[in-house]
Amino acid sequence: MIRQRLARFVVRRAGYRMVGEVPESGILVGAPHTSNWDFITMLLVMWHDGAHPRVLVKKQLFRGPLGWVLRRLGGVPLDRDNAGGVVDELVREAGSGEPFRLIIAAEGTRTKGDYWKSGFLRISRDTGLPITLAFFDPPTKTMGFGPTFHPSDDVKSDMDLVRAFFADKRGIKPENATEPRLRDEPGSVA
């Protein structure tokens, strides 16, 4: 309740408008991921409607007191070199029957990259949970949720939906955004 009140106050004071509804359960792809502030903004988006998400965060940030804070905020340490163990644990947690919301920055970094990581598709398929596209767009002063879908066998079609939704979303530092495409996506030149 306190988190929800705080989020609503901050969103209102900053002059932002919330759109869409927080899903009961699912994999939330937050993009574009261009700044350290993205973690906070995605928490505000979730807390605004009273949701308590899990958030994948690189394990290096879990040292010292920051680690305690990140865990309290729903952070899950991710070892980028050995992500399989964390994914297996999250799949088990998602299967518990309790509401499960996992925020993933598919770009994998705040700097411009060549492609998105495909883990959000894998986790969605492994858990059976839908993917919801989440965003923070400073130029339009909007934040919230877009379409929700279950991944199909047509990766290109799924990614076309993702590209269409994020085409006009800018993030805090638009120059750092990575185009929504996967390394092994059919038709990709990466």
Collect all residues with Cβ–Cβ distance below 8 Å to 64 and sequence separation of at least 6. Answer: none
Q: How would you write the pLDDT of the chain (190 residues) with one tens digit per residue?
A: 788 999 999 999 999 999 998 888 999 998 888 787 888 888 888 888 888 888 888 888 888 888 898 888 888 888 777 766 777 777 788 888 788 898 888 876 677 778 788 888 988 998 899 999 999 899 999 999 999 999 999 999 999 999 999 999 988 887 887 788 888 776 655 4
Amino acid identity, residue 93?
E
Helix (H) or strand (E) holding 128: none
Calpha distance 47→29 (Å, rounded): 16
Strand ranges across the sheet with 75-78 = 17-19, 142-149, 131-137, 26-31, 101-104, 54-58, 75-78
